[in-house]
Amino acid sequence: MKKLNVIIIVLDGLRNDRIDLCPKLLNILNKGAFFSNMITASPYTLAAFNSIITGLYPSKHGVDSYFNMFKFKRNVCKTLFQYLHNNGFYTEANLVSDSIIPHEGFDTIRAHDEYNDDLIKLHKDIISNASNKQFFLLLHYGNLHTNGIINVAKKYNDFSKEFFDNYETNKKNYNFWLKNLDLYVKEIYGHLESSGLLNNTVLVLLSDHGTSNGEKIGERMYGSFTYDYTIKVFCSFLIPGINGKEISFQTRTIDIMPTILDILKIDADESYEHLQGKSLMPFIEGKEKDDRIAFSETGGLYGPWPSHHEHNVFCVRLKKWKLIYNKTPNTWEMYNLENDPEEKNNVFDKNKKLASELQKMIFGHIKSNEENVIY
Amino acid sequence: MEVGLLTNSSKISLSIPQDLAKKLQKRAEEKGFKSLSDYVTYILRQVLSRIETAENQKEGYSEKKEEEVKQKLRDLGYLE
């Protein structure tokens, strides 16, 4: 097998339902195994990134709240970068902040200046400089986050009437920011194509979480709730020799890391926490044809029930149904996602039998992440 | 202190009693581990992690650490 490089590009904060407003991105996603219904383990960058690079839910890897951002469980979790570094890859990350993920396994990890740097030029240079060796790069496109901080987070709070009364304006502003994102993806892809690197590089494009446009009072950006506008994401794997196709079964961001190990034929290290995600290759090979059960969890910095040191909002999502557990006020919400994709009509009290089954799943998820079941 | 023989550049071997090894081997198989070494290392990682977590909790979450986290969250634009 020829030596493959890996590039992961994370498009921070890109909503699943706006991909079609990014024609160049959509075109590129369709060149790969495009998982168009993926659920993030957590709808904010700190926890989401660590789940992507470990294949674990937040309580397993330790970054399970904003204030636990430095509590990654180094002794028991092995990151994708450690795996690839141990296998001879040159590893580099360029991020909005170098505090987002642990530094183990990196040859180089740097933060860019999100307000001033030209990310297209910077990331093209990083790719060119790495290309004389087998490499693994993590490139973070954070301009949606930056625009959100400047135009939303710094102007409004999670209950600002002016923001939540103007959904259409918020949506228009967010959609406008997508133009730069689309250009960025086109330029980086073009650079890979013209340099011949696509022939021996696995390119992984994904979003880590979505962003509110003012759908629900109490969340002006993300991280307070687990509604679909922040937990629905996507991921496409452009693998040399494998034709593109859209795969619409529900999958999870914790499945990304095991998939990359599978593509590279690297065995999971059993002396670390066992992966909770599973390779997506069976979908690509047409052997798996069912939606995976997904969990997502968060704890807001602000919002109606902020929780700085532990997650207190959990959900389980099936293709058609979602159950949300708001642990702090101890409330439940259940939605039929087919009939009610905007999650406005809580049917928790109307289908007790299903609600009970989904409750068991959520409690099982919480328990399995608190305890070490295979100790 | 006995540290065992170097077997390759990243691992060393340690000695444990045979009867203990047999019990651990049985558990490793029950839990689906491919090797005894992986299972024992897995347990040691978990134990070390818990010890360090307990020590950190004993020390308390210092104001300095809390302020460091808050500053990072402010830098990211999350905290006002």
Which residue among A234, A251, A284 closes a domain? Answer: A284
What does the mean pLDDT of chain A come to? 96
Which residue among A258, A284, A310 closes a domain? Answer: A284
My answer on whether A221 and A264 are in the same domain is yes
- B5 falls within a domain: no
Confidence check: pLDDT of A303 > 80: yes
CB contact under 8 A, B46 and A375: yes
Confidence check: pLDDT of A240 > 80: yes
* Residue with token string 């991921």: A235
- A229 falls within a domain: yes
Contacts with B, A 258-317, CB within 8 Å: 269-272, 301
Confidence check: pLDDT of B3 > 80: no
Confidence check: pLDDT of A61 > 80: yes
Stated as kind and residue range, the H or E segment containing B12 is: none
Distance from CA of B19 to the nearest CA of A (A): 19
Mean pLDDT value of segment A66-93? 96
CATH number assigned to the domain comprising residue A102: 3.40.720.10
ipTM of the complex: 0.84
My answer on whether A215 and A322 are in the same domain is no
Nearest to A76 among B35, B39, B49 (CB): B49
A88 touches chain B (CB under 8 A): no
pLDDT the model gives residue B9: 63
My answer on whether A269 and A324 are in the same domain is no
My answer on whether A126 and A175 are in the same domain is yes
pLDDT the model gives residue A358: 98
Locate A15 and state its tokens.
């909503």
* Least confident window among A42-56, A81-95, A151-165, B37-51: B37-51
Rg, chain B, Cα only:
20
Query: Which residues in chain B have their CB less than 8 angstroms from residue A146's CB?
Result: 77
My answer on whether A178 and A205 are in the same domain is yes
Q: Which domain holds residue B28?
A: 18-75
Stated as kind and residue range, the H or E segment containing A361 is: helix A352-370
Confidence check: pLDDT of A220 > 70: yes
* B21 phi and psi angles, rounded to 5 deg: -60, -40
A374 touches chain B (CB under 8 A): yes
* Least confident window among A37-41, A83-87, A236-240, B30-34: B30-34
A115 touches chain B (CB under 8 A): no
My answer on whether A259 and A303 are in the same domain is no
DSSP string, B42-74: HHHHHHHHHHHHHHHHHH---HHHHHHHHHHHH
Instruction: With CA atoms as reference, report the closest residue to A51 among A267, A262, A253, A281.
Output: A253
- A165 falls within a domain: yes
Structural domains in chain B (count): 1
Distance from CA of A43 to the nearest CA of B (A): 14
Query: Which residues in chain A have their CB less than 8 angstroms from residue B66's CB?
Result: 67
Cβ-Cβ contacts under 8 Å between A and B: the total is: 57
β-partners of residue A348 are none
CB contact under 8 A, B77 and A375: no
Nearest to B52 among A75, A145, A153 (CB): A75
pLDDT the model gives residue B71: 92
Nearest to B33 among A66, A146, A270 (CB): A270
Q: Which domain holds residue A250?
A: 5-284
My answer on whether A142 and A117 are in the same domain is yes
pLDDT the model gives residue A373: 58
A49 touches chain B (CB under 8 A): no
My answer on whether A340 and A233 are in the same domain is no
Which residue among A244, A259, A284 closes a domain? Answer: A284
* A354 three-class SS: helix
- B7 falls within a domain: no
DSSP type of residue A4:
P
Locate A209 and state its tokens.
């979480």
pLDDT the model gives residue B61: 63
* Residue with token string 């540290």: B3
Please give the sequence-ordered ranges of beta strands (E in DSSP) within chain A, or none if there are none. Answer: 5-11, 33-39, 90-95, 108-111, 135-141, 201-206, 232-238, 245-247, 251-252, 294-298, 313-317, 321-326, 331-336
CB contact under 8 A, B69 and A67: yes
* Residue with token string 């092995």: A78
My answer on whether A90 and A54 are in the same domain is yes
pTM: 0.95
- B35 falls within a domain: yes
pLDDT the model gives residue A266: 97
pLDDT the model gives residue A302: 96
My answer on whether A261 and A363 are in the same domain is no
pLDDT the model gives residue B54: 83
Query: Which residues in chain A have their CB less than 8 angstroms from residue B45's CB?
Result: 75-76, 271-272
pLDDT band for B56, please (50, 70, 90 cuts): confident
Structural domains in chain A (count): 2
Q: Give CB contacts under 8 A, 24+ apart, made by B27-35.
A: B31/A374, B32/A374, B33/A270, B34/A270, B35/A270
- B41 falls within a domain: yes
- B68 falls within a domain: yes
pLDDT digits (tens, 9 = 90+) for A192-212: 999 999 999 999 999 999 999
What does the mean pLDDT of chain B come to? 85
Rg, chain A, Cα only:
20
d(CA A303, CA A88): 44
- A289 falls within a domain: no
Among chain B residues, CA nearest to A223: B78
- B3 falls within a domain: no
pLDDT digits (tens, 9 = 90+) for B43-54: 999 999 988 888
- A375 falls within a domain: no
CATH number assigned to the domain comprising residue A342: 3.30.1120.10
- B55 falls within a domain: yes
Residue A331 CB neighbours (<10 A): 12
Confidence check: pLDDT of A159 > 70: yes
My answer on whether A204 and A331 are in the same domain is no
- B11 falls within a domain: no
pLDDT the model gives residue A375: 64
